[in-house]
Amino acid sequence: MEAVSYLKNILELDVSENSLFGEIPITIGDCLSLQILYLQGNSFEGNLPSSLATLKDLRYADLSRNNLSGLIPKDLQKVSVLLYLNISFNNLMGEVPTEGFFRNASAMSVIGNKKLCGGVLELHLQACDVKVMKQGKSHTFKLTAIIVGGVLCFILFSSFLVLYRRIKLKKESSSTLPKTNQLTNVSYKKLYQTTDGFSLGNLIGSSSFGSVYKGIINQEKWMVVVKVLNLQQKGATKNFTAECNAFRNIRHRNLVKILTCCSSVDYNGNDFKALVYEFMENGDLDKWLHQDIDNENQPRHLSLLQRLNIAIDVAYALQYLHDYCEPLIIHCDLKPSNVLLDNDMIAKVSDFGLARILSTTNDVSQNQTSTIGIKGTIGYAAPGT
């Protein structure tokens, strides 16, 4: 039967009453001139090939007394010249078509297929069980409800976990103050020693406003960050003043703590201004979101829950600055590089050099800013600034 596709011009194919088995090849549809097909009395199995519908000249087809299963192809309704179809005594199932050729009950035989249903009334078949369809839809609905319910439960559980973590950390932070808060004003000499003479080995970042170094201060070996301002840059002194004013009276677990400041002269007699912050072990958010190709041996990855926690941390910080601190502060340059992460991946907003401090009075002239004109990073504007 596999070679039947080569019989393109055959008019009649009769292999009835043999011991043939296997599936009826789908290539039988290539016999475009076939008018008579007799396959009865064999052991063919599998589905009726849908390619039978491409035999536009098919008039007589007998596929009875085999082991065929599956549904009757509905495309057989389109064979307009079909005069007789015998598919009795097989294992066919499902609904018998009711259009085209299948309207004429006397032109076909479907007996001996216990799982067939429907069709025209003259066939006297059982009605198709609507309950089966309803049960299928009901099963789909139940499965969808289970999936949706599972997702909702996961979201609720994650939310409760985040809230629990927030409450726990707030209690811990309120019960104990870090030792670094005990720092007082430091001299240029102390900062020089802390950073090994502001060496390149301790340099962790730089910009037009200055350079940032890491260092160890005091005998307790506290890790700190020293931001040395470039006083040659226009607005650097205002930047220093604004950041000092911003941190003078504010305290929040999601704001980087300024430990102390230094306004002095260096060993060459030049003006020197620096700010000392707590050290954040995991760096800034920008490095976690945008991997450095030079650091392939140290891959970083943020899970969905970590990203959610960071977003909540930043939102808490902004809510405090906008609504609760005195005076109110607008950051004016919020971006991933200004969001730092500590050892527990808690996010803290930093760099208030461009902050706008709002007076509680109605006198607009009392509002303070560290820069004049457009604020923030060039090419970037934070929402609400």
pLDDT tens track for 295-347? 555 567 888 899 999 999 999 988 988 888 777 888 777 888 889 998 889 99
Under a CB-based contact definition with an 8 Å cutoff, are residues 209 and 230 in contact?
yes
pLDDT at 310: 93
The pLDDT assigned to 1 comes to 67
- Is residue 245 domain-shared with residue 152, that is, in the same domain? no
Q: What are phi and psi of 384, to 5 degrees?
A: 80, 10
Q: How far is CA 6 from CA 53, 231, 362, in A?
A: 18, 90, 95
Residue 381 forms part of a structural domain: no
pLDDT attached to residue 295: 54
Report which listed range, 152-166, 275-289, 318-332, is most confident: 275-289
The reply to whether 385 falls in a domain is no
Indicate if 215 and 346 belong to the same structural domain. yes
Asked if the structure places residue 325 within a domain, the reply is yes
Do 158 and 194 lie in a common domain? Answer: no
Task: Say if residue 91's pLDDT is above 80.
Answer: yes
Q: Which domain holds residue 290?
A: 181-369
Are 154 and 263 members of one domain?
A: no
Cα 32 to its chain centre, rounded Å, is: 52
CATH number of the domain bearing residue 121: 3.80.10.10
Shared domain check, 310 and 164: no
Inter-CA distances, 292 with 132, 213, 287, 296, 297, Å: 58, 20, 7, 7, 10
In terms of DSSP bridges, do strands 43-47 and 21-23 run parallel, antiparallel, or are they unpaired?
A: parallel
For 320, which DSSP code?
I
CA angle 236, 280, 288 (to 5 degrees): 95
Q: Are residues 35 and 95 in the same domain?
A: yes
Q: According to the model, what pLDDT value does residue 369 have? A: 44
Are residues 58 and 202 both part of a single domain?
A: no
Regarding whether 287 and 194 lie in a shared domain, the answer is: yes
Q: What is the pLDDT of residue 299?
A: 61
Q: Assess if residue 222 is contained within a domain.
A: yes
Per the CB < 8 A criterion, the answer to whether 86 and 63 are in contact is yes
In this structure, are 235 and 112 located in the same domain?
Answer: no
156 and 83 together in one domain: no
List, by residue number, the catalytic residues. Answer: 333
Residue 375 lies in a domain: no
247 and 334, same structural domain? yes
Q: Would you say residue 121 has pLDDT above 70?
A: yes
Per-residue pLDDT tens digits for 217-256: 765 677 888 888 888 877 777 777 767 766 666 778 898 8
- Number of domain units in the chain: 3
Q: Looking at residue 356, what is its pLDDT?
A: 63
pLDDT category of residue 149 using cuts at 50, 70 and 90: confident
- Asked whether residue 149 is domain-assigned, the answer is yes
pLDDT at 61: 94
One domain for residues 278 and 295: yes
Considering 128, 144, 165, which residue would you say is the last residue of a domain? 128
